[in-house]
Structure 1
Amino acid sequence: MDGWIIRLIEQGGYWGIAALMFIENVFPPIPSEVIMGLGGVAVARGTMTFWPLLIAGTVGSTLGNYVWFLAGDRLGYRRLEPLVRRWGRWLTVRWADVEAATGFFQRHGQWIVFALRFSPFLRTLISLPAGLTHMRHGRFLAFTFAGAAVWNTLLIIGGHWLADYVKTMDHLIGPVIVAIVLLAVAGWLWRVVTWKPD
C-alpha cells in the first residue's frame, strides 16, 4: 500500500494524534481533516480503535484551542494588539480579524464556541475573543471539548467510509493525502505572502 502517511499516523499512536491535533489548533496549516480522516482510515484497517482515537484527537484539539484562549485571557487587549500587529503575518491574523471575531462572539454568546468547532476557518480564531472577554475556563473547555468531539467523530467516520470505499483504489490514498496537505500549506503560504497589516 502506498500509505506511508497512514503508517506515520499509526506509528505515532494516540499520543501522536493528540500532539498533531494540538499543533493543528495552534499553527493552522496542518489540517485536522487529514489527521482525523487518516485516523478513520486506521480504524478501518484495524490498527486503531474508534474511542481512544476520538478521545486523543479531542483532547489535543481542546488543549490547542486553550492556548489561544489563555493568550486572550492573560494578555488582554492592550498587550495582545501589538503582538498580533507584529507577528500576525505568520499566523495570517490581523488585529481587525480579532476585533471582528470578538464582536461576533459578543453578539452570539458563548454557545458560539461550541457551534464554530464545525467551521474550518473560525474554529481556532474564536478561542481568542473567548479569552479576551474572560469566558469562564471550565465552560470554555466544556464547549470546546463537546464541539471538537462532534467534529472529530464526523472526520473519523468520513475516513472510515473513504477507506472502505476506495479499497479497489488503495494506491490513490497516499497521493490524495499528500495533495491535500500540499494545498493546505500552499494556501497558508499564499496568505502569508499576500497578508497586509491593518
Structure 2
Amino acid sequence: MFALYRLNYHNQYYAAFPDAEQLRQIKKLWLESLADYGVSQLLAGAKRAIEGSEYLPTLNRMHRCCREAAADHGLPPARDAYEEACTAPSPKAAQPWSHAAVYLAGRDSGWFTLANKPEATSWPVFRDHYERYCARVLAGEELTLPPAPALAQAQDRGKPLSDEEQLEQLRQLRRDLAL
C-alpha cells in the first residue's frame, strides 16, 4: 500500500514521510487502525484512493476507501460479517445472508467454533477465511450459496381424530404406561 503511495504521490510522499523512523511510526499506526481489513481490501482501498484524489490519503480517507471498495461488491465489513455468522440461526444455508462470502467464511470456520469458542479464538479464524473470500470477490469471482435444504414433506396423516377417539387413545396410553 505504501509502495503504491510512493509511486503515485512521489513528492507528497517524501514530504509527508521525510525519514525512516517517522515512516515506521506511521505504518505501525496504520497497521493497528486498519487491522480489520484484509490485504485485498486494503489494496482495493488504496487503488480507490489513488484514482479518486490527487493528494496522499489520510488514515480516515483510507478507512472510507476500504469500506467503499468492499461495499461496491456488497461485502459487509469483516466485523459485521463475523457477528452475522456468529448469530445466524440454524439451518445456516436457509438464512438470508448479506453476502455469500459471510456464509462461506462461517462454514469454513466451523459453525460450532463460531457459536462456542471465545472471540479471541474464533475471530482470527473467521477473519482469515472471510479475507480470502473477499479477495476472490474483489478479483471478480461470483460466489454462490449452496441450495437451501428442502423441508421434509409432511406425511398425510389423514383426517383428525374425533374427541371420542382422542380420549380413547389417551386412555390406552394411560393403560400402557400404568398410570
The alignment's TM-score, normalised by the length of structure 1, stands at 0.30
**TM-score, normalised on structure 2?**
0.32
Higher gyration radius (CA)? 2
More helix by percentage: 1
